Structure 1
């Protein structure tokens, strides 16, 4: 199977690093015209240059905008009025005891992880329906199904994404537009990498040992028994964005290494 997204424009939010960057690189490799997004212009420019180097001939450009705010989403929509593929990847996480999470953190997590996708889907989905082709993908998490006690506020936002994606999918009935969620498990992104390095330092372990210990302790049902790579998640997302994935709609698609101990 050859995935060819030539002629399609794809926007990946939060794509200057981590899973989002790997997704952007994968989409560019499949021929899509990719828009990188992040909050700072310098990081956006660096990510554009890196992907352009990694994917010779790839079409990639960048727009700096803070999608956690209504103003930032409005600016992004003004800069890029139409897209064929929207990957709502922008997100934050932070392990914190429930009793120490203030209202401000709940609001911040909801704005970044949930409202960014709501606002951009509202802005782009009408055009997809009018053109009768489009892909919207929410990058959720297995934490949306298995709420982690060490970051309940994060789990809440990932569950909310699943509900929104399913609701939007129901608006696509009879069209060639799809809306799906992808649920990664623990993945060695820059953010998780920093977290694991801190664990390694605290426990006097190597980074690899700390990562393995984290999975075994906090995600004991994992069949993978390791952190996934960003490329492994990106490969799956690129398929979901492809023309070949036309029969996949309204689904919560697990790429979490078997952590969720159910058959459906």
Structure 2
């Protein structure tokens, strides 16, 4: 299916690996120009070179930044004011219980995963509204639906971003903009491996026993999602094929969030 993204341009944050990288690769395959944003220059440059080689003539730029810093969030928006699509993906909240996570850790995590999304959205939403078009895709996380006291920073922050996406996405069409969210469950990335190992350490005292975790043993279809599957959903939601979808959050977890026990 041709998603009609050829000639458009997307800004993808957290683009250097995992879901962000997969999303960039899918968008490039659809002919969508890219701005790749993350903290690591070498990984961004390597990805950009790979995409340019695979898609000659495709405009691919990088923007090295720390999106936990307000000044760098503002600078990113100012540098790329004309993008058609924003994919907010940067950030990863740490696992841990309320007693284990101190104030500094909460604030540091949310500066990137919560306020980073909000501030970059604010900056580019205003610019999209001035043009009367644009799409914002927030890649959030299913812990905002299935609350987990052992991942309380992530569950709470993700729930906030779900509400943010729904509230803004309900009003944004009045200005020609769509806002949608994606809630991936466990995705086969380095990040997921780190999480399940920490959960196994907390549950069994041994990170190598992660495969014994109930949430791993109960995975639908016997596997995690692939990053590319999330990227393909992001590309579809960003396209005119999803032109009447706004103010909603789509879960991609094989149905795991609605399993019980």
> Which one of the candidate residues 248, 252, 258 is aligned to 1:255?
252
Residue 191 of structure 1: aligned partner? 191
Which residue number in structure 2 is paired with residue 93 of structure 1? Answer: 93
Whether 2:231 is the aligned partner of 1:234: answer yes
Query: Secondary structure of 1:105's match?
Result: helix
d(CA) in 1 for partners of 2:109, 2:208: 31
1:116 aligned residue = 116
| Distance in 2 of aligned mates of 1:119 and 1:31 | 28
User: Hey, what's the Cα distance between the residues in 1 that align with 2:113 and 2:183?
Assistant: 14
Write out per-residue CA displacement over residues 21-64 of structure 1, whole angstroms, 9 at most, x where no aligned residue.
10011111111111111113222212212333344443311000
Deviation at 1:219, TM superposition (A): 5.9
Q: Which structure 1 segments of 5+ residues have no match?
A: none
Q: 1:156 to 1:197 in 2, by over 3 A?
A: closer
In the TM superposition, what is the alpha-carbon distance from 1:95 to its structure 2 partner?
Answer: 2.0
Task: Measure how far apart 1:194 and its partner are.
Answer: 4.4
**Cα distance in 2 for residues equivalent to 1:194 and 1:96:** 13
Per the TM alignment, residue 168 of structure 1 is displaced from its structure 2 partner at its CA by: 1.2
Contact 1:23 1:235 in 2 (8 A): yes
**What SS does the corresponding residue of 2:26 show, helix, strand or coil?**
helix
| Of 227, 244, 250, the match for 2:241 | 244
Is 1:223 aligned to 2:220, yes or no?
A: yes
Residue 106 of structure 1: how far off its partner (Å): 0.9
- Provide Cα deviations, 1:50-99, integer angstroms capped at 9, x if missing partner: 33334444331100011111011122123212211001101113222321
Q: Counterparts in 2 of 1:7-156, with a 5 A limit?
A: 7-156=7-156
1:196-219 per-residue CA deviation (whole Å, 9 max, x = no partner) reads: 57869x4656xxxx45x44xx126
Give the Cα–Cα distance (whole angstroms) in 1 for the partners of residues 6 and 82 of structure 2: 16
Q: Call closer, same or farther: CA 1:173–1:242 in 2, change over 3 Å.
A: closer
Q: Secondary structure at the match of 1:3?
A: coil
Instruction: Give the C-alpha shift of residue 195 in structure 1.
Output: 4.6
Aligned residues: 255
Cα distance, 1:14 vs structure 2: 0.5
Shift of 1:10: 0.4
Displacement after TM superposition at 1:169 (Å):
1.2
CA distance in 2, matches of 1:42, 1:101: 31
Gaps of 5+ in 2: none
From the superposition, tell whether residues 57 and 190 of structure 1 become closer, same or farther in structure 2 (CA, over 3 Å).
farther
1:175 Cα deviation from its structure 2 partner: 4.6
For residues 109 and 203 of structure 1, what CA distance do their matches in structure 2 show?
23
